[in-house]
Structure formats: C-alpha cells, structure tokens
Structure 1
C-alpha cells in the first residue's frame, strides 16, 4: 500500500479517493492551493499514476477550487458504498496518522535528544497500548513478540550505545507500529460498533415497554452482536461493512415500528 499513498506535509496519509475526500473536507484553502494551482494538480497526478483512475484524474484536473474537487469526488463515489465505508476509513486514517506522528517524534529524538530516554519512553507507550488491547480481548502475539525484543535491545543499547543497536531498535519500533495500526483500527471500530449496539439495545427496550412487537429488531441486534465478535477476530473490512448494513436494517426496522 505504501507506494500508493499520498503524504501531506502535516503528516496525514491517504491511500484512496475515500481518504482524499475526507481530508479535503477539513482542508483549508491555502493548503488546497498549494496542491492545486495553475502550474500543477497534485491530486490529479496521484490519482492517475498511483491509483490508475484516468477518468477521475481527468475530472479532478478540471477542479479549480476545493468545493469543485469535493463535488467531483462525491459524485464519483456516490451511493451507499461511500456512506458505509467513510466512517470506517476515517477511523483507520486517524489511527495511521497517530502512529505516523509517534514515529516522526521518535526519529526527531533519535537525531537530537537522549536516545536511551527516548527508547524507554517509546517502549512504555507501546507497552501500555498492548496491555490495553489485551484487556479488551485481542490476541496480539506478534506485538508481544516485538515488545519483548525491544526490551532486550534497549537494555543492550544502554550498555553499548552502538549505532547498530539503535538502528535495530528503530526497525523494531517501525514493525511494531505497523502491527499496532491494524489493531488500533479494529479496536476503535469495534468500540464504535459496541456503543451503537448499546444505544439500539436501549431503544428496543423502550419499544418493548410500549408493548411493541420488536422480534425483528431483536433478531437483527443479536446478529450484530455475533458479527462484532467475528470482526474482532477476523479484522476483515467486509465483516465491518456487513455490520454497518445490519445497523441500517435495524434502524429501518425501528422506524417502521414507530410509524405503526
């Protein structure tokens, strides 16, 4: 995925047109015109060369303002698919950018500050994140393996202060962060799903108190609970999309009951 990414100066990273649309919505005009002006259109070039979408690239090349670019992307990605994927992708890019920021800080400290303190601090941050994921039921053997190696490498570096050890530690941090990005994405999405599940459970309970027939919503809610568990283990985007579809179906079912 890396060779298809578009990197912004503020550290944001996108890898598809969904991400571009999300970023453009919150982008200021000055930043936009740094990328799109009379001399160039970075987004059009990226879409054509990295994503191989010549038709969309041609359309984006005509955009002279941020609003025009957003309208083109909305039209291109119109329909239910965008509305379903956008919240999920937003969480993913938020996680990715968070860890990118951590890595940037680590590299800065590598060059300019006390390396031992930096490595120990980075180790503790990631150790806490791993413990948080474990407490929430995630199987993270790979992350645990990396963190154990980091602990040993850092202890070795404190004693020998060699450049080779420092580079090895940086590589381990990089590998660990790549793993944590995936788990962090799943963790945040599952958290969102669970919050929505709890809210719908309360709504259905309220309908039952009014003697409403809630058989269909209860069955859908039960299916959602099972799918959340499946997604937690599989980490597959398709499972997340199915859960979103189920939430849509649940909302429709509740609306139908309320109209009776």
Structure 2
C-alpha cells in the first residue's frame, strides 16, 4: 500500500504543477485615454454588456449585415473569421441615435486557432447628423484637445485630430507592414457623408466619429497633398473666427452687339 502511494505522489504533483502553469485569461489595458483601443473583446463585453447586435462588413464598402447575438453565435459566426463580426451598441442621447461599433484585430503572436481579439477601431455613427460642436456631449469618450495649434487636418470629407503621446503597445493592432517605423497615437476622425464646406465651422455636420490609431510623423511625410493642416476646431480661437465671407455674386454677362 505504501509503495502504491509513493508511486502516485509524483503523478499528483505533476498534475498540480501543470494546473498552476495554465495561463490566465488574456487581459489588457487600453492603449490611450479613450478607454477602448487595445481592449480584448471579452473586456469590451464586461464593460458594456452583451452587444445589442453583431454586424458583418461587406468587402471594403460601408455595407453591413446585422444579426442578433444569438443568431451570430449559433450560425453566422461559423461562416466567417471571428474578427469579421463587429460588436454594436446603440443608445439614444439628446434625441440622437448614437451607434458604437467595435472593430477587432487578432493577436497573431498567439499560436492558437482562435487568437485573442483586440479593439483596433471604434466607429460612432450619428442619426441624424450632428454639428461638430455637439459631439463631446454625445460621446463621453471623445475628449479632444483644445489648443489652437494642436495637430488637426482636414479633407473635403473628414477632419482628423490627434490627442496625446504615441504608444508602442498600439503596434499590436496596426495593419501596416512597416508599423515598427512609425509612432502611433490616438486619432479622432470625423466624417461627413455629404462633404465638408470649404469654410469649416463648429456647426458643420458630422455623420460618423472614429477612434483609430494613426502616425502623425507619417502624415507629415506622405500626407502633405491629402491632409490640409487647420486650426484645431475645438479650440476657443476657432469658435471666435469671423463668419464665412460671402460668396461673390455671379453676374450675368451682357451681350454686346455689333452696330
């Protein structure tokens, strides 16, 4: 009997040691002050609850199919890669429908079939569109800087703002192949479906806000022709600018007849 116990003891110790070596569930902290970018999907669910819907993007277009969490888990999640399902949360704030969508990227450092998903972008859509100045009251996580010279750019469709220092950890969810050469920071990108006016104001309409990760140094290098530097639209100085100059009136040419 004593011999049997002595033979089983090493096996018991081996099993105990193996249980202690099992890694804990993946957890992480957000890369930036927004509180979302870099979180795992499980952490998003713990923070916001069960998603109100799951949506799947059609190719690169902004065309989506929406599913209930139950239907997605039971059937549709088996047809596509896990990162193709975006968690959707919809709220009503100040008479505006505010819809959050979380886009994930797998952690390919993990040698497993289903690696941990981390938030790489958060899209916040407004229905109906809202003026630029109203967004901080609708999205608590949106906290733009207020310095007039803080990095800000625009095109005919969007406004791009940078906030805070770069984060080396953010490379985890950056898609660029040479991401190690850049310094990646929190960026707020505000889109207007119908285009922005030439003279941007705090009342310009915005349809979508994105929390994403971009490199300010790369914009200075390769974005000179696509990113027009502007005054920070959330600064006091921007709001105090004079109104847009009146458009010149087009005169009707008067024909001149030969006598």
Q: Quickly name the TM-score band, shorter chain normalised.
A: under 0.3
Length-normalised TM-score, structure 1: 0.21
User: Which of 1 and 2 has higher RCO (CA within 8 Å, sep 6+)?
Assistant: 2
Q: Which has the higher helix share?
A: 1
Normalising by structure 2, what TM-score? 0.21
